[in-house]
Chains A and B, each alone.
Chain A
Amino acid sequence: MDLIADLRTDAAALLRDGRAKLVIGYRAGGAGDAARRAPVFVSDPARVDVLVYDASCRQNLASYLRKPEVRSRAPVAVVAPPPVMRSLVLLAAESQITDATVVVLGVGEGVYHGVLDIAQTAALLREKYADLAPSAEVVREIERIAAMTAEERAAFWTARFARCTRCYACRAACPLCYCTRCIVEKNVPQWISSAAAGHGNYAWNIVRAFHLAGRCTLCGACEAACPQGIPIMLLNVLAAEEAARDFDARPGYDPAEKPVIGSFKPDDNDDFIR
């Protein structure tokens, strides 16, 4: 209970002092179900009592920061569990947010970390959450699929991508998919077919995962948002593992880090190149 009381007190203080014009947090309820958690936008210090936080708060609230109607309300305070903190540090590394536009309200499992700036958030992550790992279940599933033949893998993914309706909920849920014009909407030339079928679905899902390689902080918001139950995290974790192994990528721990794709080392691994 302390966690929530402290969170509400700090949120109210931020709004009252003008250190934040808007607090993005979680509230109880949503779709008529009190057990669910939904995002809430608070701009009145008298209304901070709607804010809650617990383990059911899964949505990545950092995804709202790119929206013009939110940007225009800067500075914005964001309730951030550890994966969201990582997203925020990465957004800072990519020059999308600064201390002048975003304040972090750090929360963890049963703990409240207080009002943080970006450097403090990164320090906290390195100190307390340095070993955030993908779920063992996802890692096991990746191993299972990797052990299949190429034909079996193709069949596995063709069946899953066939369900994709190209609603782009995965993109909307992701704080790191912030391009104002996504590659999938560029149609001169049409790189990725926009029809919700075969080759277009394959290209979209692969390219989405590729654009997040070395950037994805594994918050899982895309997979949770997918109405068709496509196991998107398998691709994200696979690309993240590769980026970590070959390029020492640890996205979201250092606001001064260089982009993984977009930088290089002369001695990068090239044992796969003839």
Chain B
Amino acid sequence: MTEPERQLAEPSAAFEPRLVALVCTWCTYAGADLAGTSRLPYAPNVRIIQFPCTGRIDPLLVLKAFEGGADGVLVSGCHPGDCHYTSGNYHARRRWAIVRRLLEFTGIDSRRLYFSWVSAAEGRKFADLVNEITQAVRAAGPFEPANPARRRPWT
């Protein structure tokens, strides 16, 4: 029996958070790749979604992740000064500052939404970050039923 089959056959009773990581391809995705090729184990709770640049990561994508039932979201890209397109991460940073405040104010607080800079050389940082966030979201518990953005049947 393969590992995924075993997990399906014996679902764990304990809560396992579902995390979505929205990452830029040049830095954080490459960093996650390095974590993998370096054989660094990290929590399997994260679903990584690759974008050309953090400047492409519209706040709507964060909302979509929560709408689809994510318990936590990580948005990550290149360190300031490292953007492949010069300034995409600077633009993204301004948007994040506003969006996180709006989401926090409406019920998606900082236990659910994380931002980071992870470079292509920081495989270790990525692995540690995912472990840390998984731990924090696990401690915060399932986002349901409080998740204000969750997609629900129209009643």
Give chain A's interface residues, CB within 8 Å of chain B: 142, 145-146, 150-151, 153-158, 161, 183, 191-193, 195, 197-199, 202-203, 206-207, 209-210, 213-214, 234-235, 238-239, 242-243, 246-247, 260-266, 268-270, 272-274
Tell me, rounded to whole Å, the shortest Cβ–Cβ distance linking A217 to chain B.
16
Q: Give 13 new A-B contacts, CB below 8 A, not counting A213-B102, A268-B93.
A: A150-B108, A154-B106, A157-B148, A191-B64, A198-B151, A202-B63, A210-B102, A242-B97, A242-B101, A269-B97, A273-B93, A273-B116, A274-B114
Judge whether B111 is part of the interface by a CB distance below 8 angstroms.
yes
Judge whether B96 is part of the interface by a CB distance below 8 angstroms.
yes
**CB-CB < 8 A to B116: which residues of A?**
273-274
B152 near A198: Cβ-Cβ < 8 Å: yes
**CB-CB < 8 A to B98: which residues of A?**
210, 213-214, 239, 242-243, 261
Chain B interface residue number, banded? 35 or more
Count A/B pairs, Cβ under 8 Å.
Answer: 131
Judge whether B154 is part of the interface by a CB distance below 8 angstroms.
yes
Judge whether B117 is part of the interface by a CB distance below 8 angstroms.
yes
A268 near B105: Cβ-Cβ < 8 Å: no
Tell me the complex Cα distance, A239–B111, Å.
20
**CB-CB < 8 A to A243: which residues of B?**
98
Tell me, rounded to whole Å, the shortest Cβ–Cβ distance linking A182 to chain B.
13
Judge whether B146 is part of the interface by a CB distance below 8 angstroms.
yes
Q: Which of B91, B97, B151 contacts A272 (CB 8 A)?
A: B97
